[in-house]
Amino acid sequence: MNYFKTIFTTIFIFSLFFVAAACGTAPAEPDAGEGTAGEAAPGVQRTIRAGIGLNDQHPQYLGLLKFKELVEERTDGSIVVETYHSGQLGDDRSMMEALQLGTQEVTVPSTAPIAGFVQEFTVFDFPFLFPSEEVADEVLDGDVGQMMLDKLDDQNLVGLAYWENGFRDLTNARRAVASMEDMKGLSIRTMENELHLEAFRALGANPTPMAFTELFTALQQGAVDGQENPVATVYLQGFQEVQDHISNTHHIYSPFVFLMSKTFFDSLSEEEQEIVREAAREAGQHQRQLNREANAQYLDDLQEAGMTYTEIDEEARQEMIDTVQPVLDKYAERIGQDIVDQVYEAIQEAQED
Left (φ > 0), alpha (ψ -120 to 50) or beta: where does 31 sit?
beta
- Strand 187-190 with 226-229, pairing: parallel
Q: What is the dihedral of CA 312, 316, 321, 325, to 10 degrees?
A: -140
> Alpha-carbon distance 79 to 138, whole Å?
31
Task: Please report which helix (H) or strand (E) contains residue 259, including its range.
Answer: strand 245-261
> Alpha-carbon distance 82 to 67, whole Å?
10
Determine the 3-state secondary structure of 14 from DSSP: helix
Q: Is residue 175 a contact partner of residue 182, using CB atoms and an 8 Å limit?
A: yes
C-alpha closest to that of 67 among 83, 78, 86: 83
Query: What backbone torsions phi and psi does residue 258 show, to the nearest 5 degrees?
Result: -80, 110
* Cα-trace Rg, the chain: 26
- The whole-number pLDDT of residue 250 equals 96
Q: How many CB atoms lie within 10 A of CB 280?
A: 25
- Amino acid at the residue 132: S
| Residue 186 C-alpha from the chain's centroid | 27
- The whole-number pLDDT of residue 101 equals 97
> Alpha-carbon distance 318 to 313, whole Å?
9
> Alpha-carbon distance 225 to 234, whole Å?
14
- At what angle are helices 337-352 and 143-150 packed, to 10 degrees? 150
> Alpha-carbon distance 81 to 88, whole Å?
15
> Alpha-carbon distance 77 to 69, whole Å?
10
Q: Reduced to 3 DSSP states, what percent helix, strand and coil does the chain have, rounded to the nearest 5?
A: 55, 20, 30
pLDDT digit string (tens) for the chain, length 353 residues? 444 444 444 444 444 333 333 333 333 333 333 333 455 555 679 999 999 999 999 999 999 999 999 999 999 999 999 999 999 999 999 999 999 999 999 999 999 889 999 999 999 999 999 999 999 999 999 999 999 999 999 999 999 999 999 999 999 999 999 999 999 999 999 987 889 999 999 999 999 999 888 999 999 999 999 999 999 999 999 999 999 999 999 999 999 999 999 999 999 999 999 999 999 999 999 999 999 999 999 999 999 999 999 999 999 999 999 999 999 999 999 999 999 999 999 999 999 97
C-alpha closest to that of 124 among 107, 108, 136: 136
- The whole-number pLDDT of residue 28 equals 35
- Strand 106-107 with 206-209, pairing: unpaired
> Alpha-carbon distance 22 to 17, whole Å?
9
Q: Compute CA distances 81 → 37, 287, 346, whole Å.
A: 21, 17, 35
> Alpha-carbon distance 90 to 109, whole Å?
12
Task: Please report which helix (H) or strand (E) contains residue 162, including its range.
Answer: strand 157-172
